[in-house]
Amino acid sequence: MKWIFVIALAMGMYIAQAAQYTQPLKRGSFKEIVEAHAGKPFIVALWSVSCTHCSTDLEIFERLGKKYAGFTLVLIATDSPEQETEIRSTLNKYHLGQTEAKRQGKVESWVFADSYTERLRFEIDKQWYGELPRTYFYDANGKPTAISGVLDEEKTERWVNAKP
Amino acid sequence: MSARFIFGFIISCLLTNIVWSAEQTKMHDTSNMWQKSLAGKQISSSAVFDERGTLWLAQVQEGHVMVSQSTDQGKTFSTAVKVNLQAEAVSASGETRPKILISKNGNVYISYTQSLDTPYAGNIRFSRSVDGGKSFSAPITVNDNLDPITHRFEAMGINARGQIYLAWLDKRDAVAAKNKDEKYHGIALYSAMSDDEGISFHANTKVADHTCECCRVAMAIDKTDTPVIVWRHIFGKNVRDHGLARLDGTTRKRDVDAVQRVTFENWEVEACPHHGPSLSISGDVYHMAWFNHGAERTGLFYAHSANGGKTFSAPINVGNSQRQAGHAAVLSQGKNIYLAWKEFDGEVTTIKSMYSHDGGVAWGAVQSVAETRDVSDHPMLIANKEQVYLSWNSQQEGYRLIALPYKQIAQQGGKQ
């Protein structure tokens, strides 16, 4: 009995740990992300562990993620893969880690993995100058609407509800 | 499944977890991560010519500000001298860089932002050399509030009288307001002045409340030897346009009305643009370049003011907005005005420039000055008498000093 418990615990921790991995955003990754979500609305949120205003958005995402099964969030940190621990602890703080039991929505985490950040920014949006937070609302037709700065929670919830 | 296999699996899982936990504990201190995040790409540099035409370069290496000289326009440099002997988390990426100025008597002045363990926290540091750059004084902290909070993005200027000015973004009032459960937009702008050649600084003075949090501050000295600063300010609820102030020692009202607003793009955003302005003064005229993403206009802009910033010429759009035109530097010498900025086409980062010989009214064609295919610093413009140079550091190519391809048109007077 004791052994089974240990096995279960070990496996559980093992899986939790593996699933929390933040994926590296390299050249071409963004296109793949958009393609992977084609046909369904989703939100791309660019943030950073050193961004003053981003935590307000993370709180909004935490609440919406708990409430809506249709809520799909792609978080992209503009930090570097070496900051994974800090990224992970920030996301866990807002219950946006990948194994959050209370969440209905889907969350994935990416991080800038190219020192030439200009190129990654350009692939995401030629009109994005790096200000944070920056959020894209992709509708079911793959058309994005961009917003710079802290989100309006009511409007964001309405958007999630409308399943555009 | 054999018992042996199960045992092995458990051990391997546990081991992984132990290693993982150890790593977690080791890395748990977020301050380490903060420092680490700063360590990676410290390529932001500053350079200046002294009166004899020697180029002085300040760069950051492994926690040290390093100063070297070149007497052949940047082809070769002297062995770099350490400013701070003890390594610090010197901030040198994006909007923040060590600054270097040379006074008329040959003193070398260095300022920089030292990052602290707490995220966004820093100190404004200052050091000087009075032996021609052979050695530097132990750095002093200029901000007289020593809480581990934001004191960052300093700008430094020196006037003909030898007074040294520093202006920086400071969170002390925002923290005080928070402690009293009061609302406070953004942070504040503080300044300090030294009139003993940098041995000490007078008490910190507040210039303005409610500045944007993470854009560089620009400073230039006017013809009365007074520093003028421009920064990204928060107007009204959340409009991030630019404010201007002369550090003339007069006491200011501590409200938004005391701030002279100089741009009107109405960028209403609760975000950090990481995109501060540039300022240069010649005679009576202020020349300014800035970036905004507002409701009125969007992009990179240039304008000038002949009445101390009360009114500016109609902003002209600079660069290609489809190519991320940004981070402009402006330099004026009499009626000769130079602009340099960054563009990116998806693969190549190019520094573009243009030149006006009539005080910024008519502008010549845009030229490409330098390029790189990896991470790079913002462009800076510096002058050695009439020749203006691009001063630019990039990861692949290293530091470059490139003469701008413009011949100044001879003028009568007007030069600073």
pLDDT per position as a tens digit, B138-151: 999 999 999 999 99
φ, ψ dihedrals at A12, nearest 5°? -60, -50
Binned at pLDDT 50, 70 and 90, residue B251 comes out as low
Question: Alpha carbon B41 to chain centroid distance?
Answer: 15
- The three-state secondary structure class of B390 is strand
In a domain, B34, yes or no: no
Q: Which residues on chain A are in Cβ contact (under 8 Å) with B95?
A: none
Confidence of residue B18 (pLDDT cuts 50, 70, 90): very low
The pair phi, psi for residue B123, each rounded to 5°, is -130, 145
Please state the rounded mean pLDDT for residues B18-44. 52
Helix (H) or strand (E) holding B286: strand B285-293
What pLDDT sits at residue A2? 56
> Quick one: average pLDDT of B89-101?
95
Q: Does A8 touch chain B (CB under 8 A)?
A: no
Assign A91 a pLDDT band (cuts: 50, 70, 90).
very high
Nearest residue in chain A measured CA to CA from B31: A86
Q: Specify whether the CB–CB gap between B91 and A50 falls below 8 A.
A: no
- φ, ψ of residue B297 to 5 degrees: the values are -150, 155
Q: Which residues of B296-306 are buried (b: 16+ CB within 10 A; e: fewer)?
A: eebbbbbbbbe
Q: Which residues of A touch B346 (CB under 8 A)?
A: 119, 122-123
Q: A13-48, pLDDT tens digit by residue?
A: 444 444 457 999 999 999 999 999 999 999 999 999
Note which residues in 315-334 of chain B have CB less than 8 A from chain A: 321-324, 326
* Domains of chain A, CATH where assigned: 22-162 (3.40.30.10)
Of B112, B104, B110, the closest CA to residue B137 belongs to B110
* Model pLDDT, residue A4: 58
Across all residues in chain B, what is the average pLDDT? 89
**Average pLDDT of span B373-379:** 96
- pLDDT: which is higher, B221 or A127: B221
Confidence of residue B259 (pLDDT cuts 50, 70, 90): confident
Q: Which pair of tokens denotes residue B56?
A: 């002085």
Give the C-alpha separation, B367 to B387, whole Å: 16
CB contact (8 A) between residue B272 and residue A132: yes
**pLDDT tens per residue, range A115-163:** 899 999 999 999 999 999 999 999 999 999 999 999 999 999 999 998 8
Placement of tokens 């770099």 in the chain: B80
| Residue among B37, B119, B349 minimizing CB distance to A80 | B37
Tell me, yes or no, if A118 comes closer than 8 A to chain B by beta carbon.
Answer: yes
Under the banding of pLDDT at 50, 70 and 90, the label for residue B344 is very high
* Structural domain contains residue B85: yes
**Interface contact flag, A83 B272, Cβ < 8 Å:** no
Q: Which of chain B's residues have a Cβ under 8 Å away from the Cβ of A3?
A: 6, 10
Beta bridge partners of A73: A43, A107
CA distance B289 to B278: 5
Count of domains for chain B:
1
Average pLDDT of B70-98? Answer: 96
In this complex, which of A86, A126, A150 lies closest to B33 when CB atoms are compared?
A86
Interface mutation vs chain B, best among A59, A129, A132, A148, most B CBs within 10 Å: A129
Contact B101, B109 (CB under 8 A): yes
Q: Average pLDDT for residues B162-189, to the nearest whole number?
A: 96
Pairing, β B46-49 against β A144-148 = unpaired
The reply to whether residue B344 touches residue A6, judged by beta carbons under 8 angstroms, is no
Residue B250 has pLDDT above 90, yes or no: no
A53–B275 C-beta distance less than 8 A: no
| Contact flag B269-A148 (C-beta cutoff 8 Å) | yes
Residues of B in contact with A119 (CB under 8 A): 344, 346-347
Mean pLDDT, rounded, for B317-346: 96
User: For residue B18, is it within any domain?
Assistant: no
Quick check: is B385 in a domain?
no
B248/A contact by beta carbon, under 8 A: no
In angstroms, the CA B184 to CA B175 distance is 9
Residue A6 has pLDDT above 80, yes or no: no
* Six token digits for residue A146: 């961009």
Q: What is the pLDDT of residue B15?
A: 45
Please indicate whether, in this complex, the C-beta atoms of B291 and A129 are within 8 angstroms of each other.
Answer: yes
Q: Looking at chain A, which residue has its C-alpha nearest residue B121?
A: A50
Q: Is B146 exposed, middle or buried (0-12, 13-18, 19+ CB in 10 A)?
A: exposed
Q: How far is CA A115 from its chain centroid?
A: 20
What would the mean pLDDT of B27-44 be, rounded to a whole number? 58
Least confident of B21-35, B167-181, B182-196, B335-349: B21-35
Q: Is A17 helix (H, G, I), strand (E, B) or coil?
A: helix
Is pLDDT above 80 for B9?
Answer: no
Task: Examine residue B216 and state whether it is found in any structural domain, yes or no.
Answer: no
Q: What would the two tokens of residue B415 be?
A: 């030069």
In B76-204, alpha helices (H): 172-179
Q: How far is CA A24 from CA A73, A87, B310, in A?
A: 16, 12, 48
Question: pLDDT tens-digit profile of B260-302?
Answer: 999 999 999 888 889 999 999 999 999 999 999 888 889 999 9
Q: What does the pLDDT look like over A46-56, one tens digit per residue?
A: 999 988 889 99
Q: What percent of chain B has pLDDT over 90?
A: 80
Size of interface A-B (CB pairs under 8 A): 112
Decide if the complex's ipTM is over 0.90.
no
Distances (CA, A) of B194 to A114, A125, B161, B411: 42, 45, 11, 35
A53–chain B Cβ distance below 8 A for any pair:
yes
Q: What is the pLDDT of residues A71-90, one digit of tens each?
A: 999 999 999 999 899 999 99
Helix (H) or strand (E) holding A67, with range, is: helix A54-67
3-state secondary structure of B232: strand
What is the DSSP annotation of B254-283?
A: SSGGGSEE------B-SSB-----EEEEET
Question: Among A10, A50, A149, whose Cβ lies nearest the Cβ of B120?
Answer: A50
The model's confidence at residue B119, banded by pLDDT at 50, 70 and 90, is confident
- The pLDDT, as a whole number, for residue B257 is 53
- Report the gap between the CA of B261 and the closest CA in chain A (Å): 22
B159/chain A closest Cα distance in angstroms: 34
Interface touch A149/B344, C-beta < 8 Å: no
Domain that holds residue B77: 39-130
